[in-house]
Amino acid sequence: MRTISIKTELKKQVIYNNPHHFWSWFKQDLYMVQNYPSLNSVRDFAVWFSTHLYYYCKGIGFKIVVSSEVIDINFYAGGNPKFIEAIVSLVCKAPKLDNIKIKSFQEADITVKDIKEELIIIKTDNLRIQFNELRYAVDEICQESRRFGITIYYSEFIFIKDKATLINEIYEHLVRYLGEQFIFKKIMYINFASCYPNNNYQPVSYLKQDLNNDVIYFLDSVKSIDI
C-alpha cells in the first residue's frame, strides 16, 4: 500500500535584481547583432548577454538565434521552479523592439509516442538506458497549489559510475518531455531513487497524462493518506 501525504507547499524563489538594468545594457549593445553581424560579433554579444543575465539572476539560462530577419531570444530555468518569478519579471519588462522575439521557458519536444517507441535514450559515459525504463510515483500533494511531489525511479541493477551525471541526464530529458511551464504548474519537486524492476510504479510515459488529471484521481488511488 502506498501512502501519499497532503501538505502545504512552501514557495521557494531566488533573489533577482532590477530587470531594467539588463534591458538598458541590451538596447545599448544590440547593434552588435544587427545588420548582418560577423560571427565574432555574435559571439561577443552572447558573452556579454550571459554576463549581464548573471548580474540580474544567477541560474537563468538562455538561447539566442540570430538571423538576417529576426533575433530570437528564449529564457529558461532548466525546469527549476525557483526561477519562474525572475524570468516572468524579466520578460514582462522587455522593451518592444522591431525584429526581436522574446520567449520564456523551455517547450516540450519529446512525445509519449517517442518514449513508447524507444526513440529516447539516456546516455552517460558508461551507461545507455531507454527513457521508457524509468518509473514514477506520487509522494505528496499540495491542495492549495494542486502540485505534486514525485520520485523518478531507475533500475536497481544499473551499474552507475557517476550517479550525479545520470540524474542530470534524466532531469534534462524530463524537462524536454514535460516542458517547463507544465513542471511549474504541476510539480513541487522531483526526487530520484533506484528500484527493482518488478515494482508497482507507473511508467514515466504516463506521467504527463496522470498529473493532468484531478487531485481526486490520486486520492482515489490510495487507501491511506497521511495528513
Q: What's the whole-number mean pLDDT along residues 5-11?
A: 56
Residue 157 counted as domain residue:
yes
- Residue 168, exposed/middle/buried by CB under 10 A (0-12, 13-18, 19+)? middle
Q: Could you tell me if 119 and 208 lie in one domain?
A: yes
Q: Could you tell me if 53 and 80 lie in one domain?
A: yes
84: containing domain: 19-104
Position 220 pLDDT exceeds 80: no
Q: Could you tell me if 82 and 139 lie in one domain?
A: no
| Summary mean pLDDT of the chain | 83
Q: What is the pLDDT of residue 224?
A: 40
Residue 51 counted as domain residue:
yes
Q: What angle do CA 203, 208, 212 make, to 5 degrees?
A: 130
User: Is pTM, for the whole model, over 0.75?
Assistant: no
Q: What is the pLDDT of residue 223?
A: 42
pLDDT confidence tier of residue 4, bands split at 50, 70 and 90: low
pLDDT confidence tier of residue 225, bands split at 50, 70 and 90: very low
Q: What is the pLDDT of residue 13?
A: 63
Q: What is the pLDDT of residue 164?
A: 81
pLDDT digits (tens, 9 = 90+) for 79-136: 777 788 899 899 999 999 999 999 888 889 999 999 888 888 888 777 788 899 899 9
Q: Could you tell me if 189 and 85 lie in one domain?
A: no
% residues pLDDT > 70 (the chain): 83
Residue 9 counted as domain residue:
no
Residue 11 counted as domain residue:
no
Q: What is the pLDDT of residue 167?
A: 86
Q: Domain ends where: 68, 89, 104?
A: 104
Q: What is the pLDDT of residue 49?
A: 96
Q: Could you tell me if 46 and 82 lie in one domain?
A: yes
Q: Could you tell me if 97 and 114 lie in one domain?
A: no
How many domains does the chain contain in total?
2
Q: Could you tell me if 68 and 132 lie in one domain?
A: no
Residue 100 counted as domain residue:
yes
Helical ranges in the chain per DSSP H = 19-29, 39-56, 84-92, 112-116, 163-178, 180-186, 207-212, 215-221
pLDDT digits (tens, 9 = 90+) for 163-200: 788 888 899 899 999 998 898 888 888 999 888 666 77
Residue 8 counted as domain residue:
no
Cell of residue 103, nine digits: 520567449
Q: Could you tell me if 80 and 140 lie in one domain?
A: no
Q: What is the pLDDT of residue 85?
A: 84
Q: Could you tell me if 89 and 114 lie in one domain?
A: no
Q: Could you tell me if 122 and 219 lie in one domain?
A: yes
Q: What's the whole-number mean pLDDT along residues 62-82?
A: 87
Q: Could you tell me if 86 and 166 lie in one domain?
A: no
Residue 10 counted as domain residue:
no
Q: What is the pLDDT of residue 14?
A: 74
Cell of residue 90, nine digits: 524579466
pLDDT confidence tier of residue 213, bands split at 50, 70 and 90: confident
Q: Domain ends where: 74, 104, 134?
A: 104
Q: Domain ends where: 104, 132, 155?
A: 104
Instruction: Quote the CA–CA distance of 211 and 215 in Å, as a whole number.
Output: 8
Q: Could you tell me if 96 and 150 lie in one domain?
A: no
Residue 5 counted as domain residue:
no
